[in-house]
Amino acid sequence: MAGHSAGGALAADYAASSSRSDLAPPEAIYSVYPGRLIRGYPAGIPQIDPGRIAPETRLVAMAGSADTLVGQAPAQQLVVDSRAIPEAHKKYVLITRPEVADHYGPSRATGAARRVLWRPLDRLIRQVRLTG
């Protein structure tokens, strides 16, 4: 599961929900600049406890150093709260490259966005496919 902004938060929610449903659990979560505030929803998106994410799931949570919309705390907290996932299978990444460090950086069709944000996702997918 991969997502940016609310999609990044919802990817983690899906993984947490799959442990108690008929949903297939994701092998990995790639949460880019996750956030829970959406225009028109003052309370934001409620969180499903990341502690319910299966221990075999790999987690990468990214935050942008210049992200003033959601900041760094949601990505950091996702990693901390994913208690069932071993430390070796989860990672917090702070993006500092100016071209992509703001909240909208991941949605830009630039070489920097591809190199810094999306090539690591390609690597994660390959890794998951190899290790199953």
Domain count along the chain? 1
Q: Which domain holds residue 126?
A: 2-131
pLDDT tens track, the chain, 132 positions: 999 999 999 999 999 998 777 888 899 999 999 999 877 777 788 899 999 999 999 999 999 999 999 999 999 999 999 999 999 999 999 999 999 999 999 999 999 999 999 999 999 999 999 986
The pTM is what?
Answer: 0.93
Q: How would you label 67-102 residue by residue, b for 16+ Cβ within 10 Å and e otherwise? A: beebebebbeebbebbebbeeeebebbebeeeebbb
Q: State the Cα torsion 51-23-46-52 to the nearest 10°.
A: -10
CATH number at residue 21: 3.40.50.1820
Q: What is the pLDDT of residue 25?
A: 86
What is the C-alpha to C-alpha distance for residues 86 and 92, in angstroms, rounded to an integer?
13
Tell me how crowded residue 25 is: count the other CB atoms within 10 A of its CB: 16
